[in-house]
Amino acid sequence: MSLPLEGIKVLDFTGVQAGPACTQLLAWYGADVLKIERPGVGDITRSQLRDIPGADALYFTTLNSNKKSLELNTKTPEGKKILEELIKGADILVENFGPGAMDRMGFSWERIQELNPGLIFGSVKGFGENSRYSDLKTYENVAQCAGGAASTTGFWDGPPTVSGGALGDSNSGYHLLIGLLTALIDRQKTGRGQKISVAMQDAVLNLCRVKLRDQSRLERVGYLEEYPQYPNMGFGDVVPRGGNAGGGGQPGWVLKCKGWENDPNAYIYFTVQDQNWARTAEAIGHPEWANDPEYNTAQARQLHLFEIFEEIERWMADKTKYEAVDVLRKYDVPCAPVFSMKELAYDPDLRESGTIVEVDHKVRGKYLTVGSPIKFSGFKPEITASPILGEHTDEVLTGLGYTPEQIAELRAKKVVSA
Ligand code: CAO
């Protein structure tokens, strides 16, 4: 089956998560993605959090499926020459090294344009080029703290808290991906490439836009009525941490179900939807609340919200999270069980849709990983294993016209793996 990005050549100079998440999607959708890695070392995640001695860690395999791997020391004269040749034949180059590393290696944006004016160059850094923090190396949680996620996540009586979702890493990679695809379409019209820069701080803030909205609302009216702090705890001059409160116009909370004493995930998320209040009240055994002025408007309910949540928990005390949702779905209540990672890993629907897949790996054997969360009517991406370090070194160099003798010489000089 022909895939949409077939024929697009990507040089993947990425590591850890932000960059690899971006290029993995390009690879899933058909691009020829070549990971360029330091000889003998490779992407640092190959060896981080290893669960099988000597095998690539799941950290690496989860982010690098469907790619090829070239071991190449791009700081040697021979390595630079090979990289130059690769750049001349590529469509996209993606990197997420620490600030300044590409320039120090001799591949500034100006130099890249000289080599290939049609090349699209994608770059992830922690902070924008004009930022006073632009020199900082950045990991996931650093970005979550710098982009507003941590100060607005958690409970009001606890410290800033980071999310389990990769708001800094994969999210930045996906922002970059949108930029790369936009630039590809632009290149069809202009013939020219361009540089796309994504700062992790910006990508996190972009996802925290409702909190930025709340800051403006707070400054105008002095309170945020959907936060648990309203009306009794009061507000300062910054958006507070709202626990599990709903971020939109509909209040919600994480509520206990049967078994919560022993099961850390025996909970559901329950949303009180204004336009569905009469049916919600009926579902939880209080049909009389539908017309009671103490409860029948969003404003009135706000004062009773935690009383309502307690009542729902009482109603759910003899119901598992699945049973509760099965009743509530009949009344159109927006809700879901809180699923553990174990439940998700073995979820038959997610397996069937290809959101979670098992892949065969030369060294590891079968491993579980994510598949495409984006579904296309025209094709279904097939997820293949991540490459072994340097698996495609000979293939790539031969393709560039190097003879076996020349490749052996490069090996002897440690330009490629020994
Ligand atoms: N051949 C020769 N040298 C290579 C090479 C290759 N194939 N590939 C990488 N290198 C070199 C780089 O040129 C760089 O050298 P210098 O620093 O001497 O110029 C070095 O290896 C790697 O530098 P680094 O800063 O990327 O690596 P690090 O492990 O110290 O930092 C990280 C990692 C992620 C903190 C940093 O890369 C970073 O801040 N990246 C930008 C933000 C980002 O994407 N973070 C997301 C990471 S996921 O949590």
Looking at residue 250, its amino acid is: Q
pLDDT above 80 for 326: yes
Res 92: pLDDT: 98
Res 248: pLDDT: 78
pLDDT above 80 for 246: yes
Distance in angstroms (rounded) separating the CA atoms of residues 412 and 105: 22
pLDDT digits (tens, 9 = 90+) for 257-291: 999 999 999 999 999 999 999 999 999 999 999 99
pLDDT category of residue 417 using cuts at 50, 70 and 90: confident
Res 154: pLDDT: 98
Res 206: pLDDT: 98
Q: Which residue's CA is the nearest one to ligand 1's atom 18?
A: 101
CA 300: distance to chain centroid?
Answer: 38
Q: Which residue's CA is the nearest one to ligand 1's atom 38?
A: 98
pLDDT above 80 for 247: no
pLDDT digits (tens, 9 = 90+) for 108-146: 999 999 999 999 999 999 999 999 999 999 999 999 999
pLDDT above 90 for 204: yes
- Establish whether residue 18 lines the binding site of ligand 1, counting it when its CB lies within 6 angstroms of any ligand atom: yes
Res 401: pLDDT: 97
- Establish whether residue 36 lines the binding site of ligand 1, counting it when its CB lies within 6 angstroms of any ligand atom: yes
- Establish whether residue 14 lines the binding site of ligand 1, counting it when its CB lies within 6 angstroms of any ligand atom: no
Distance in angstroms (rounded) separating the CA atoms of residues 203 and 142: 13
97 C-alpha vs ligand 1 centroid, how far in Å? Answer: 4
pLDDT category of residue 231 using cuts at 50, 70 and 90: confident
How would you label 346-372 residue by residue, b for 16+ Cβ within 10 Å and e otherwise?
eeeebeeebbbbebebeebeebebbbb
Q: Which atom of ligand 1 is nearest to the CA of 75?
A: 2
Q: How many residues does the chain have?
A: 418
pLDDT digits (tens, 9 = 90+) for 156-203: 999 999 999 999 999 999 999 999 999 999 999 999 999 999 999 999
SS3 (DSSP) at 144: helix
Q: Which helix (H) or strand (E) covers residue 395, if one does?
A: helix 393-399
Res 249: pLDDT: 80
- Establish whether residue 45 lines the binding site of ligand 1, counting it when its CB lies within 6 angstroms of any ligand atom: no
pLDDT category of residue 351 using cuts at 50, 70 and 90: very high
Dihedral sign (CA 166, 168, 170, 175): positive
To test the pocket of ligand 1, the residue of 16, 78, 80, 97 to mutate (highest count of ligand atoms within 8 Å of its CB) is 97
Contact 123, 95 (CB under 8 A): yes
* Catalytic residue status for 169: yes
Q: Which residue's CA is the nearest one to ligand 1's atom 36?
A: 98
Res 381: pLDDT: 96
pLDDT digits (tens, 9 = 90+) for 67-99: 999 999 999 999 999 999 999 999 999 999 999
pLDDT above 80 for 1: no
Dihedral sign (CA 137, 140, 142, 143): positive
Q: Could you say which of 91, 169, 202, 214 is catalytic?
A: 169
Q: Please list the helix, strand and coil fractions of the chain in percent, rounded to the nearest 5, in that order.
A: 40, 15, 50
Higher pLDDT, 346 or 247: 346
pLDDT above 80 for 398: yes
Q: Which helix (H) or strand (E) covers residue 369, if one does?
A: strand 365-370
Average pLDDT of the chain? 97
Contact 120, 184 (CB under 8 A): yes
Nearest to 407 by CA among 389, 390, 394: 394
Mean pLDDT of 409-416: 95
The angle, 0 to 180 degrees and rounded to 10, between the axes of the packed helices 169-190 and 18-28 is 50
Contact 383, 28 (CB under 8 A): yes
- Establish whether residue 74 lines the binding site of ligand 1, counting it when its CB lies within 6 angstroms of any ligand atom: yes
> Rg (Cα) of the chain, in Å, rounded?
26
Q: Which atom of ligand 1 is nearest to the CA of 19?
A: 44
Res 188: pLDDT: 97
- Number of neighbouring beta carbons within 10 Å of residue 337: 19
Mean pLDDT of 10-18: 98
Q: Which atom of ligand 1 is nearest to the CA of 104?
A: 19
Contact 246, 273 (CB under 8 A): no
- Establish whether residue 271 lines the binding site of ligand 1, counting it when its CB lies within 6 angstroms of any ligand atom: no
Res 3: pLDDT: 97
pTM for the structure as a whole: 0.97
- Helix then strand count (H, E) for the chain reads 17, 11
What percent of the chain shows pLDDT beyond 70? 100
